[in-house]
């Protein structure tokens, strides 16, 4: 039972588990062929159900069969001596055992300290036994022993933490388990012993002891504290005579205490309440603005927050609306207002209901009185200042007196017909009571021209003119101008309608209707005694009529045209008659196809309708029997007809009466015997893949077949298809193709064949792609060429050389400077001596990684306020990842994996004043990892502070004394804000006059580090 410090002689690990007080060694390294066992029985309770133990093992490996090897065994049994699941562990000496290492002593393996966690919750209340056994070699010549930690502490089943909202916390489960899987808010199946989390909630960890054995679960709870937020509210504007500022701030998040402060000298009614009032001082009013701040206190673990608003203080407005005026009610009032003070804008309003133009929101608009204003006789207009920005609005008024005007209304425009021309007039005058007077632009007469309601009788000249203007004018209008209203009298003529002359048409023709409507309208509507249709419309005087079958059968149609759009006039109609004759029907028969060996042809036609006679014609040179004037005939083919390949026959109707002749045609095709040529035999390479066939079939089409198993493209019916050869075709060595004519009609099919021989292609393998660091100058190549040829040639898409020769399959490639600059070179192995087959190539890509280089600036000295520190490393070459490390306790921003970075000093380096930062380039492919360091000296920063004997300048004769409270400083520079300076430690200064002065103190130490303090004097 080792209790002293020390390491195992074979494994080098401590014989006592780190942090423990003692351990048990079971067995030894003496060769006796012995076995040692220790066991302990204990009662499982809730306090020890999360059970753990630790062990380490050393075994000599004589390479015997497993049953004879030194070994180590752990087992746990319950009260019934039944093995507890997932607690049995057995290992015998051997190689490549997970968790074991080879000792520096040959023939010995070891496993360092290992922690095992077991959940015994199902066994609470039972006595369980844990048993450890070590076995020497069964032949007695080799040893095995183990160390057991006797503490057997219970493991912790979880934990909890509280952080500020938005911060990250890392939970770590106990070690000693094979795998860990985390699940919780925003975390799904995260693998690892430790898991960084930010979202509050419960996180569960599922574990395994080893394959197919679940380990104990763990539960961790993260609680977040919300950070405080402050909102002082929106900026405000008040007036100098209405300057109370009402504040309504808000503080959310973590419970904190609000505090209001001011850049001025006013007073808060309660500075520690969110809802409070601020009364600006006289100095605030004179300054014209003040800044108010709302800050949070008692923020818990989170930093305080401040929000500000600005208060603008404006002067009061002064308003003038101008002098009173009198206008006619039909006129507008021209207004001229002025506004000075806090605003120069205003808005007009009226005691009436009139309107302002162009807008009531300008100072100099025109006002148009309403009917109500006119009825009242006057209106008061008020100008009120706007955009007062917290000030009370100013007002000014002007009175406008109104006189009503007379308004004449002659009524609506009348329209009468020439034969119904008397006009009834009904006028009106509103407003001022003026006298009416009617007048005319024509020569007609009024029954009473001074009465509002009268009649007008047009003269012959008025009717001939068609238009007369009638006017109603006011007289005796007082101070307002006369008003005149007019109506336009329109006198229309009666319509004239003509349907046109009678017609006779053929049944295939449309009836052309050419009607006419004139006078007061040019529109009309057609009707018919038939059942056909009008095109494009019956509503057009000039249109077409398409007879129906019933119209053609009846032989006659009557049409009527009626005027429309007559206004005050009576509609007029006109009629016409059309006779219809039916056209002939001709059929020459169906098209035919015959073979060129046929000498005669039977043709048969049919003619009906107005005639039953016809006449045959053709584009051929043969002869008719009995003659071309007979509908049923025999035609004798000529040699020219056969050579042309077809004859077109035309049957034309005769004796058609009033209708045109009708024709019909029939085509007779003369098919010649096909001529087929499949082409000449071919020799191709298997790499060609496709066989191009070029056959001819005259005059017909054709279809291909083959002795192979490939396919034709686009199809076997193309005369020039391509054929895809198959592995079976290549194995056979040839394919025979046959072209057969198709579409032969009455003629027999014709065939022709062609043979294509197939030669095999070479096989080339250049090897797998290669990665090389620039520290090596060459790479070995191993290629192979087989089947069609056994020789090849290496070439490079780079600029390097092959040694000893590019014609050797196994050679070396010396890359060039250009290859290194590009970073890659493609090496190609191509077969040679290929015969009729094309050369075959294969390539291997050589990727050259430049050895990485770090250029980090020399050591530096900074002041502690230069925090964080900006650092940039010059990086070149090929590298995978960047890792910054520190000798201190600071942090990298945004993280330690980027470049450039910012480093925020930690407490240790701020105390010690020295720091070493290291940048490393990792995962550099075939090149080794690289690193570089920079040493940083951190100088302390002074703290500047002072107080003034007075912050208010009451007299130009009284000096202000400044007491310097700075720390860790030896040099001082004062700026009194009036162009005067001092380097004294505690100076006094007399100001020339009252005003605002910003006093600045800059404190420095022996390292040239500085700090600044300021104060305002009024």
Based on the fold, state whether residues 172 and 132 are members of the same structural domain: no
- Edge to edge, the sheet with strand 632-636 lists 600-604, 632-636, 623-625
pLDDT at 335: 93
Question: Residue 839: exposed, middle, or buried by beta-carbon count in 10 A (0-12, 13-18, 19+)?
Answer: middle
Count the alpha carbons within 13 Å of 348 in the hemisphere toward its beta carbon.
33
DSSP codes, 66-94: GGGS-EEEEEEE-TTSPBPTT--EEEES-
Element (H, E) at 911: helix 907-912
pLDDT at 242: 85
Give how many domains the chain has, as a whole number: 11
Element (H, E) at 538: none
Q: 16 lies in a domain? A: no
CB proximity list for 955: less than 8 A, separation 6 or greater: none
Based on the fold, state whether residues 410 and 388 are members of the same structural domain: no
pLDDT at 228: 87
Could you give the CA distance from residue 603 to residue 589 in angstroms, rounded to a whole number? 8
CATH number for the domain spanning 123: value is 2.60.120
Q: Tell me the Ramachandran region of residue 1010: left when phi exceeds 0, alpha when psi lies from -120 to 50, beta otherwise.
A: beta
Based on the fold, state whether residues 213 and 235 are members of the same structural domain: no
Q: 3 lies in a domain? A: no
**Residue 267 belongs to what domain range?**
229-314
Please give the DSSP secondary-structure letter assigned to residue 687.
G
Question: Residue 82: exposed, middle, or buried by beta-carbon count in 10 A (0-12, 13-18, 19+)?
Answer: exposed
HEC profile of 743-775: CCCCCCCCEEEEEEEEECCCEEECCCCEEEECC
pLDDT at 78: 94
Based on the fold, state whether residues 145 and 27 are members of the same structural domain: yes
Q: 18 lies in a domain? A: no
Based on the fold, state whether residues 547 and 621 are members of the same structural domain: no
**End-of-domain residue from the set 624, 649, 671:** 671
Based on the fold, state whether residues 827 and 928 are members of the same structural domain: no
Based on the fold, state whether residues 879 and 951 are members of the same structural domain: no
Based on the fold, state whether residues 33 and 142 are members of the same structural domain: yes
Could you give the CA distance from residue 386 to residue 983 in angstroms, rounded to a whole number? 54
CATH number for the domain spanning 908: value is 2.60.40.60
pLDDT at 516: 94
Phi, psi of 959 (to 5 degrees): -75, 155
DSSP codes, 793-826: EEEESSS-EEES-TTSSEEEEE--HHHHHHSEEE
pLDDT at 329: 86
pLDDT at 2: 61
Q: 1 lies in a domain? A: no
Q: 636 lies in a domain? A: yes
Based on the fold, state whether residues 132 and 192 are members of the same structural domain: no
**End-of-domain residue from the set 920, 939, 958:** 939
Element (H, E) at 783: none
Q: How many helices (H) and strands (E) in the chain?
A: 8, 96
Which of the residues in the chain have pLDDT under 50?
none
pLDDT at 255: 66
Q: 864 lies in a domain? A: yes
Q: 709 lies in a domain? A: yes
Beta bridge partners of 624: 635
Based on the fold, state whether residues 180 and 215 are members of the same structural domain: yes
pLDDT at 4: 62
**End-of-domain residue from the set 357, 372, 403:** 403
HEC profile of 487-534: EEEEEECCCEEECCCCEEEECCCCEEEECEEECCCCEEEEEECCCCEE
Based on the fold, state whether residues 573 and 680 are members of the same structural domain: no
Q: 7 lies in a domain? A: no
Based on the fold, state whether residues 34 and 139 are members of the same structural domain: yes
Q: E strands, 120-217, where?
A: 127-135, 144-149, 158-164, 169-172, 179-184, 187-191, 194-197, 201-210, 213-214
Residues in the chain: 1018
CATH number for the domain spanning 424: value is 2.60.40.10
């Amino acid at each position: 039972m080792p209790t002293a410090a020390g390491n195992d002689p074979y494994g080098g690990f401590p014989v006592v588990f780190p942090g423990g007080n003692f351990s048990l060694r079971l067995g030894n390294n003496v060769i006796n062929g012995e076995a040692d066992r220790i066991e302990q029985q204990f009662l499982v309770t809730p306090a020890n159900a999360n059970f753990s133990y630790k062990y380490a093992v050393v075994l000599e490996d004589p390479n015997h069969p497993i049953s004879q090897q030194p070994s180590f065994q752990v087992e746990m049994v319950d009260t019934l001596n039944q093995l507890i699941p997932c607690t049995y562990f057995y290992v015998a000496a051997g190689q490549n055992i997970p968790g074991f290492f080879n000792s520096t002593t040959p023939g010995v393996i070891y496993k360092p300290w290992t922690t095992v966690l077991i959940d015994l919750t199902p066994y609470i209340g039972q006595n369980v036994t844990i048993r450890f056994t070590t076995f020497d070699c069964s032949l007695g010549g080799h040893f095995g022993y183990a160390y057991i930690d006797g503490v057997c502490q219970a493991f912790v089943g979880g934990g909890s933490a509280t952080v500020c909202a938005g911060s990250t916390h890392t939970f770590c489960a106990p070690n000693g388990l094979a795998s860990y899987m985390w699940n919780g808010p925003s975390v799904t199946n995260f693998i690892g012993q430790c898991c960084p989390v930010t979202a509050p909630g419960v996180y569960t960890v599922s574990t395994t002891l080893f394959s197919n054995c679940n380990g104990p679960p763990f539960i961790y709870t993260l609680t977040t504290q919300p950070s405080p937020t402050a909102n002082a509210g929106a900026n405000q504007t008040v007036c100098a005579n209405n300057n109370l500022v009402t504040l309504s701030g808000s503080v959310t998040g973590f419970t904190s205490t609000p505090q209001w402060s001011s850049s001025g000298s006013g007073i808060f009614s309660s500075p520690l309440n969110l809802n409070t009032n601020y009364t600006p001082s006289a100095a605030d009013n004179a300054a014209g603005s003040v800044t108010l701040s709302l800050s949070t206190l008692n923020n818990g673990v989170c930093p305080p927050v401040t929000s500000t608003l600005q208060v603008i203080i404006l002067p009061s407005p002064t308003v003038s609306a101008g002098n009173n005026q009198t206008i006619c009610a039909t006129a507008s009032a021209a207004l001229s207002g002025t506004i000075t003070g806090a605003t120069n804008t205003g808005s007009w309003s009226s005691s009436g209901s009139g309107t302002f133009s162009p807008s009531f929101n300008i100072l100099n608009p025109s006002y148009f009185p309403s009917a109500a204003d006119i009825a009242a006789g006057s209106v008061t207009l008020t100008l009120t200042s706007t955009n007062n920005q917290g000030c009370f609005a100013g007002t000014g008024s002007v009175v406008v007196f109104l006189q009503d005007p007379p308004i004449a209304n002659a009524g609506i425009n009348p329209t009468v017909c020439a034969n119904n021309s008397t006009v009834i007039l009904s006028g009106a005058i509103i407003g001022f009571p003026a006298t009416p007077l009617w007048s005319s632009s024509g020569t007609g007469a009024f029954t009473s021209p001074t009465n509002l309601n009268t009649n007008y009788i047009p003269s012959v000249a008025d009717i001939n003119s068609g238009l007369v203007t009638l006017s109603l004018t006011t007289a005796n209008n007082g101070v307002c101008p006369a008003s005149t209203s007019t109506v336009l009298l329109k006198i229309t003529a009666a319509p004239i309608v003509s349907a046109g002359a009678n017609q006779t048409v053929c049944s295939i023709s449309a009836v052309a209707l050419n009607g006419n409507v004139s006078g007061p309208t040019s529109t009309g509507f057609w009707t018919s005694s038939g059942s056909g249709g009008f095109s494009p419309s019956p509503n057009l005087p000039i249109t077409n009529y398409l007879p129906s079958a019933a119209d053609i059968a009846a032989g006659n149609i009557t049409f009527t045209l009626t005027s429309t759009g007559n206004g005050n006039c009576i509609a007029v109609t006109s009629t016409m008659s059309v006779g219809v004759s039916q056209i002939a029907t001709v059929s020459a028969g169906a098209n035919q196809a015959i073979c060129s060996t046929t000498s005669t042809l039977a043709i048969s036609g049919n003619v009906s309708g107005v005639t039953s006679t016809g006449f045959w014609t053709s584009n051929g040179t043969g002869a008719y029997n009995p003659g071309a004037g007979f509908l049923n005939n025999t035609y004798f083919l000529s040699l020219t007809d056969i050579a042309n390949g077809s004859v077109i026959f035309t049957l034309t109707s005769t004796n058609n009466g009033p209708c045109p002749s009708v024709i019909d045609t029939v085509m007779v095709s003369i098919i010649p015997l096909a001529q087929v040529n499949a082409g000449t035999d071919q020799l191709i390479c298997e790499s060609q893949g496709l066989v191009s066939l070029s056959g001819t079939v005259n005059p017909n089409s054709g279809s291909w077949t083959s002795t192979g198993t490939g396919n034709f493209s686009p199809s076997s019916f193309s005369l020039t298809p391509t054929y895809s050869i198959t592995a079976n075709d290549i194995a056979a060595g040839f394919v025979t193709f046959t072209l057969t004519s198709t579409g032969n009609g009455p003629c027999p099919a014709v065939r022709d064949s062609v043979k294509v021989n197939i030669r095999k292609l070479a096989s080339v393998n250049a090897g797998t792609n290669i990665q090389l660091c620039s520290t090596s100058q060459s790479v070995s190549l191993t290629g192979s060429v087989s089947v069609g040829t056994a020789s090849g040639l290496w070439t490079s898409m780079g600029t390097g050389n092959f040694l000893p020769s590019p014609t050797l399959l196994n050679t070396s490639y010396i890359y060039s400077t250009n290859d290194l600059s590009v970073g890659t070179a493609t090496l190609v192995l191509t077969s040679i001596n290929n015969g009729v087959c094309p050369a075959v190539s294969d390539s291997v890509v050589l990727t050259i990684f430049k050895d990485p280089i770090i250029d980090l600036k020399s050591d530096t000295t900074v002041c502690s306020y230069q925090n964080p520190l900006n650092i940039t490393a010059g990086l070149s070459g090929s590298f995978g990842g960047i890792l910054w490390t520190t000798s201190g306790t600071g942090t990298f921003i945004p993280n330690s994996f980027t470049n450039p970075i910012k480093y925020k000093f930690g407490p240790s380096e701020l105390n010690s004043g020295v720091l070493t930062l290291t940048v490393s380039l990792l995962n550099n492919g075939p090149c080794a990892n690289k690193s570089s360091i920079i040493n940083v000296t951190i100088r302390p920063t002074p703290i500047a502070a002072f107080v003034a004997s007075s912050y208010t300048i009451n007299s130009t004769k009284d000096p202000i004394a400044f007491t310097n409270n700075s720390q860790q400083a030896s040099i001082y520079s004062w700026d009194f804000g009036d162009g005067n300076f001092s380097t004294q430690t505690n100076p006094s200064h007399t100001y020339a006059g009252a005003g605002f002065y910003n006093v600045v103190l800059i404190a420095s130490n022996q390292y040239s580090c500085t700090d600044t303090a300021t104060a305002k004097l009024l």
